[in-house]
Structure 1
């Protein structure tokens, strides 16, 4: 039985590794370029085909994976001029972006009469996990569609969790990121308070590491804090703010009191407003420290 033909939109930090695993594990893969040619050329050297545009990519695919910034980009990719829907053919579209669940549900209903099935399959973990094929996936949608897309998801995922109907995957992703970005905001303020008292990040780490408050997110965050490795957690403050803004919208729409969500969002809004939007999330610790007149480095 022939494997489904896969199209991939968004071969960036996360997408390159995902697409690499798809093509190297046997699926015919078609990609489309955006700005950076390097990942495109690398994937072509591994056997991927390059489409000239989204219309052509849709025509050559059975399942299309999206790994773009958020809902505006997803909407433009699907329904914008020359978007995937313009090909006029049946498709399954897996949105691996961190998107607004309300947009996902609306788009799915809009596209269904055109023969396009949109499901939400957002991701957790890092670009290193994408390269290794060990991402976590939260999968919304109906059972029949999930059974069809699972062989594709398994090419880049080590763990796949079914979350429920369309939209539930993106909702769960926002909750996941709320917890993660909440940790980032807490670590940043705790480090600053410690610095005010003369407690270095090294002392802080010696207490937290291997204790009950340790976790993989803490480890990547503190790889920046202690080692100044800029690649420790390549997720921008701008993306964190975007996700927390989506969470705020969901809380408002559902009538949910969400004071901690607002506080976490404001931490990232503050950093973005200070010109640090393109810095990575662990660098929030330096922003908060600097605003309080302390440093987290010896120099």
Structure 2
């Protein structure tokens, strides 16, 4: 039985975890709580210290985190950062991974780049599963993320216990790269709903409708979506704009979806329109803005007072 599959009944398996940010740290903590030996690396020292405080092993490089690991999880900003962490220089993780180990790539990355990374790592005997997540920080902390998994079915089965420690819903999506494609397309659909909801609320308010009543009607009607249910009242109507998911990340994911359409020679005018809107909002609001701040951007376009 592979080490990863016996973690619940025998000696804990070892998992390297690269990227201990807003999502990565609570995900790594869940693995510690499930009995895995977690060797973690992040360039930010407080993140490494937080993992050590939770019972993990803080490491000084990606290679050190990968040493002796049955699997290595990457939770990084994009595919280029993942490739660098895995392959670039003597501190890269792939140089320390044994043949037969598995990379679980949980970042939001471009699917074609993921396939190229898989080809590169295959030469070293390292299999890759792309396994991006949906659900945000609260679900990461609770271990109830939705996880999409692409790659060889036998490899996914080998790492399924690791994924189950971090998520309550696991969807097998097909060949390597398919999960990253699904994540980008999901986030594009979510972003389109966000922008539409914010526009509708602002138009309705200008006409004299009560935004709270509008939200209740949307949620009882066909306009209901993730934004109307979970973001309008707590983050947008209050102008808090602090849901915990960055506008820069949303913009990146929409761009991946639009780029995938281009690579497949598919006409996708609306995805490009949403991508253009998101890029313009990001340029105006800055990289620290929350994705719900697209509402603020719409107000600025209409000449309203800057919501701050």
TM-score (norm 1): 0.93
What is the rounded CA distance, in whole Å, between the counterparts of 2:62 and 2:81 in structure 1? Answer: 13
**Residue of structure 2 aligned with 1:66, choices 53, 74, 96:** 74
By how many angstroms is 1:200 displaced? 4.0
Matches within 5 A, 1:37-116: 37=46, 39-81=47-89, 82-87=91-96, 89-90=98-99, 91-116=101-126
Structure 1 residues 1-299: aligned runs within 5 Å: 1-35=10-44, 37=46, 39-81=47-89, 82-87=91-96, 89-90=98-99, 91-222=101-232, 223-231=234-242, 233-294=243-304
Contact 1:195 1:295 in 2 (8 A): no
Change (3 A) 1:238 1:224: same
Structure 1 stretches of 4+ with a deviation exceeding 4 A read none
Q: Distance in 2 between matches of 1:217 and 1:198?
A: 21
**239-248 vs 17-26, which moves further:** 239-248
Q: Report if the CA contact (8 A) 2:18-2:73 is conserved.
A: yes
Between the two structures, name the one with larger relative contact order (CA 8 Å, sep ≥ 6).
Answer: 1
Q: Per-residue displacement from partner, 1:142-164 (whole Å, max 9, x unpaired)?
A: 11111111000011101000001
Aligned residues: 296
Q: Deviations over 1:5-37 (max 9, x none)?
A: 101111111111111110011011111132250
Residues 193 and 225, structure 2, Cα contact 8 Å, conserved in 1 = no
Partners of 1:295 and 1:186 in 2: how far apart? 21
Change (3 A) 1:194 1:68: same
Q: CA deviation at 1:169?
A: 0.6
Structure 1: segments with no counterpart, 5+ residues: none
Shift of 1:192: 2.6
Aligned counterparts of 1:46 and 1:276: Cα–Cα separation in 2: 33
User: What SS does the aligned partner of 2:237 have?
Assistant: helix
Structure 1, residues 95-136: CA drift from partner, whole Å, max 9, x if none?
111100000001101110101111100001110000000000
Q: Select between 117-126 and 43-52 the one with higher mean Cα deviation.
A: 43-52
Q: CA deviation at 1:88?
A: 5.5
